[in-house]
Amino acid sequence: MSLRISALNSIPTTKEQPGKITPKITAVFGSHVFSLKTAREYLSDEAYKSLVASIKAGQKIDRSMANQIANGMRAWAESKGVTHYTHWFQPLTGTTAEKHDSFFTLKSDGTPIEEFDGAALIQQEPDASSFPNGGLRATFEARGYTAWDPSSPPFIIEIGHGRTLCIPTIFISYTGESLDYKAPLLKSIDALNKAAVDVCHYFDKNVTRVTPTLGWEQEYFVVDEGLYRARPDLVMCGRTLYGHNSAKNQQLEDHYFGSIPERVYAFMRDFEHECYKLGIPLRTRHNEVAPAQFECAPIFEEVNLAVDHNTLLMDVMSRTALRHGLRVLLHEKPFAGINGSGKHNNWSMAADTGVNLLSPGKTPKTNLMFLTFFVNVIKAVHDYADILRASIASASNDHRLGANEAPPAIISVFIGEYLTKVLNDVKQRVTDNMDEQDETMLKLDIHKNIPDLLLDNTDRNRTSPFAFTGNKFELRAVGSSANCASPVTVLNTIVAQTLKNFKADVDALIEKGEKKEIAIMQVINEYIIGSEKILFEGDGYSEEWEKEAEKRGLPNLKTTPLALDAMVSEKNVKLFVENGVYTPSEIHARHEIELEKYIKKIQIEGRIMGEMATSMILPPAIRYQNLLAKNIKGLKEAGLTEEAYANQKQILDKISEHINKASDLVEQMIEARKKCNAIEDTREKAIAYEREVKAAFFDKIRYHADKLELLVDDKEWYLPKYRELLFLR
Ligand code: ADP
Ligand code: MG
């Protein structure tokens, strides 16, 4: 019996017994987090104060304090059954990494004890040599170390009966180059803080800190574990490389509005429970458009914590699914022909006065502050669209962007009807010889339109990659498997740079004798005019938009190898360096790493494609071919006329054609891969892999294999079909 048939036979049908009551969320929320509240309980006053100072003001923790804090953490962790600790970090592979050490140790006289000292809390040296480092290893030392990030609290991960204390850390090379996602993210938060506080001071001197906020929405697919195992492409690549469309997929739109299937529902509640313990504030869950597709979203948080929580969530989800005999697919496009998965990044800036800087104000004055930040974000995206695009580029996200069902690869900004009106009012009223009366009138105009904006809140353009949604911007082009730190680091940095320019421009006018508020209006007006081409309110999926965008000169890079060029353009390297986010060698290394990741992904897909064709798709096709041939021969020998076996012959013809074409193409693809592998330059190699392997062969080979799927006897077919993967659970 094939793996497919046995998997189909063993999809569980039992349901949960009713009656068990789930505890209130507040009863478990954060129970596995060493929060400040827990710290208060386990630390001396002195140690607690030093921890708070390091979180709030980034102050360094000295050695003796670190010892005290580590001791308190261990005492807390041990009370929860923890035996090991690990530095938890986010290397550029895209997953999280851990290396567990036990608290257990032996004293010099052989006495066994449990300990966790400050040094072990603050710094560790995992071996960096097998993490991607894009040439940094050659230039610098191979060794890297992890360093504690006090701004994200430690937490306990539970796997089976094992419990481990995880310390969020950054990961850097011995010479200080960052090798992870977190270090540059923290630097970009800092850059944005400085630039935004300066601009806030035009309006409110009480602001001392501005923190970017992030609320992600995570889409994912869920499939039965048995069926998953029978698909080497899902196991190795996270997506199906073969599979004919199922007769019914999402066209009835019945999944989106339907109730959550019971087995998936049990899984959801289970992983949500795990998330609550970890302090991840999940809020919503629902079905998504495609069959077997779902979404969850939390309440937004400061970006550093939100990023940690999203990477944790992906991990927790994947592990919890196994307990339910399910698999979570985070790939951007696991199935051809139906929707893929993204991860919307809702982003804003919060001042420590409690004000959301992208939330329209209640008075004309606060509205000017809102307008300032709002226009600066638009200008930032206008000036740096290419690097924002690069930050979300990956082999898997290429299947979404520009594929007519997700935001296009063209970056544009949607702001809605009322804000368009507000920007037009500014343009009309701001003149060179603007006086105070004009300014007051304008403020009133703006104020008049803002209340309507609150109504406009729900009027969303789902096809825009970057949309203003009432009190935040929503970047929708992020891939479902991505680390949010990548786009958010860019967003923070480009807005920081734009705010710095803004301040310089306004100060220059004030210097010339212009009144402050008029100077601000003048520069806002200049920025509005200067970034008009990025604003687009229409259908982002349409062909007309592609043409229009080309006319406007907006970049439309559909493939990763080319989209990544923006990382190393002179302008963008300068941006990162001037804002202290990446050094030139760090950003060049990252460019190299992204290209290498791309090459490897396509290389692996190519191999699996070939292997599956020859060992799983052709064998049942050839067996069926034989059966038909024998049948025709038999009928012929029995003296029947051609009419009697005409249909069999027709099927046999088709099968033979698809078998031949598929196997020829597989051979040719192998040759093409060999040629690509010989290319030295990483960028050239990535481009060649995209054109000569992926674009030249993947769809063609798949076409013939998928035709065979329809022709060959169903019970002989090895690979679980789309209708089974998508509808059975
Ligand atoms: P919906 O899109 O379902 O109508 P919301 O607009 O309230 O819901 O929020 C969508 C996501 O945006 C949620 O994850 C939410 O936490 C997040 N969000 C809301 N406000 C902010 C903000 N100021 N900064 C960042 N994210 C936010
Ligand atoms: Mg949304």
Phi, psi of 723 (to 5 degrees): -65, -30
Is residue 139 over pLDDT 50? Answer: no
pLDDT at 131: 65
Q: Supply the CATH classification number for the domain 31-179.
A: 3.10.20.70
User: How many angstroms does the Cα of residue 474 sit away from the middle of ligand 2?
Assistant: 7
How far, CA to CA in Å, does 548 sit from each of 461, 477, 530?
18, 20, 18
Instruction: Identify residue 53 by its one-letter amino acid code.
Output: A
Number of the ligand closest to the Cα of 373: 1
Reply yes or no on whether the pLDDT at 132 is more than 70.
no
- CATH homologous superfamily for the domain 190-582: Glutamine synthetase/guanido kinase, catalytic domain (3.30.590.10)
Q: From the CA of 175, how far away is ligand 2's center (Å)? A: 41
Question: What are the backbone angles phi and psi of residue 664, rounded to the nearest 5°?
Answer: -60, -45
Q: Which ligand is nearest to the CA of 213?
A: 1
By C-alpha distance, which of 424, 463, 422 is closest to 444?
422
How far away, in angstroms, is 348 Cα from ligand 1 center? Answer: 9
Enumerate the domain spans of the chain: 31-179, 190-582, 597-727
Of 300, 304, 373, 462, the residue with max ligand 1 atoms within 8 A of its CB, to mutate for a pocket test, comes to 300
Mutate which of 275, 356, 472 for ligand 1? The one with the most ligand atoms within 8 Å of its CB, which is 472
Q: Report pLDDT for 452.
A: 63
Residue 460 alpha carbon to ligand 1 centre in Å: 13
Which run of H or of E encompasses 713? none
Q: CA nearest 380: which of 506, 491, 533?
A: 491
Task: Report the 10 Å Cβ neighbour count for 206.
Answer: 11
pLDDT interval class at 133 (50, 70, 90):
low
Nearest CA-CA partner of 204 in 355, 364, 362, 375: 355
pLDDT confidence of 130, banded at 50, 70, 90? low
Inform me whether the pLDDT recorded for 159 exceeds 60: yes
Looking at residue 451, its pLDDT comes to 67
Question: Quick count: other Cβ atoms within 10 Å of Cβ 664?
Answer: 12
Q: What's the gap in Å between 314 CA and the centre of ligand 1?
A: 19
Read off the DSSP letter of residue 140: S
> How long is the chain?
729
Ligand 1 atom nearest residue 299's Cα: 16
Specify the pLDDT at position 175. 78
Q: Ligand 1, atom 2: nearest CA belongs to which residue? A: 469
Here the tokens at position 627 are 């059966």
**Nearest ligand (C-alpha, residue 283):** 1
Q: What is the mean pLDDT of the chain?
A: 90
Ligand having the closest approach to the CA of 472: 1
In the chain, what percentage of residues exceed pLDDT 70? 94
The pLDDT of residue 632 is above 50 = yes
Per-residue pLDDT at 141 = 43
pLDDT of 455 strictly over 60: no
Distance in angstroms (rounded) separating the CA atoms of residues 686 and 497: 31
**Confidence class of residue 55 from pLDDT cuts 50, 70 and 90?**
confident
Ligand approaching nearest to the C-alpha of 348 = 1
Find the radius of gyration of the CA atoms of the chain.
29
Q: Ligand 1, residue 471: give the atom nearest the CA.
A: 23
pLDDT per position as a tens digit, 169-204: 999 887 788 989 999 999 999 999 999 999 999 999
Residue 176 confidence (pLDDT): 82
Q: What is the pLDDT of residue 597?
A: 94
pLDDT in tens, 578-614: 999 999 999 999 999 999 999 999 999 999 999 999 9
Ligand nearest to the CA of 286: 1
Query: Which top CATH class is 597-727?
Result: mainly alpha
Strand residues in 254-304 grouped as ranges (E): 282-287, 293-298, 301-302
Residues of the chain above pLDDT 90, percent: 68
pLDDT of residue 444: 75
Decide if pLDDT at 646 tops 70: yes
Q: How remote is the CA of residue 344 from the centroid of ligand 2, in Å? A: 7
Q: What local confidence, expressed as pLDDT, does residue 16 receive?
A: 74
Q: Comparing 60-74, 311-325, 458-472, which segment has the lowest mean pLDDT?
A: 458-472
Cα 90 to Cα 163, 308, 397, 538: the distances in Å are 20, 9, 20, 38
298 CA closest ligand 1 atom index: 14
- CB under 8 Å, gap of 24 or more: what pairs does 683-688 form? 683/561, 683/564, 683/565, 683/595, 685/595, 685/599, 686/560, 686/561, 686/564, 686/595, 686/598, 686/599, 687/559, 687/561, 687/562
Distance 217 CA to ligand 2 centre (A): 7
The pLDDT, as a whole number, for residue 140 is 43
pLDDT at residue 457, as a whole number:
57
CA-nearest residue, atom 14 of ligand 1: 215
ipTM: 0.95
Q: Report which ligand 1 atom has the smallest distance to the Cα of 284.
A: 3
CB-based pocket (< 6 A), ligand 1: 213-215, 217, 297-300, 346-348, 356, 469, 471-472
d(CA 114, CA 456): 59
Q: Which atom of ligand 1 is nearest to the CA of 469?
A: 6
Q: What is the Cα–Cα distance from 347 to 490, expressed in whole angstroms? A: 12
- Does the pLDDT of residue 144 top 70, yes or no? yes
Q: Which residues contact 695 (CB under 8 A, 6 or more apart)?
A: none
Confidence at residue 135, expressed as pLDDT on a 0 to 100 scale: 63
Tell me how far the alpha carbon of residue 295 lies from the centroid of ligand 2, in angstroms: 11
Instruction: State the distance from the centre of ligand 2 to the C-alpha of 357, rounded, in angstroms.
Output: 19
CB 93 within 8 A of CB 601: no
> Residue 663 Cα, ligand 1 centroid: separation in angstroms?
50
Atom 7, ligand 1: residue with shortest CA distance: 299
Quick check: 39 and 128 in contact, CB under 8 A? no
pLDDT of residue 454: 63
- Mean pLDDT (whole number) for 287-310: 94
Mean pLDDT for 370-378 is 96
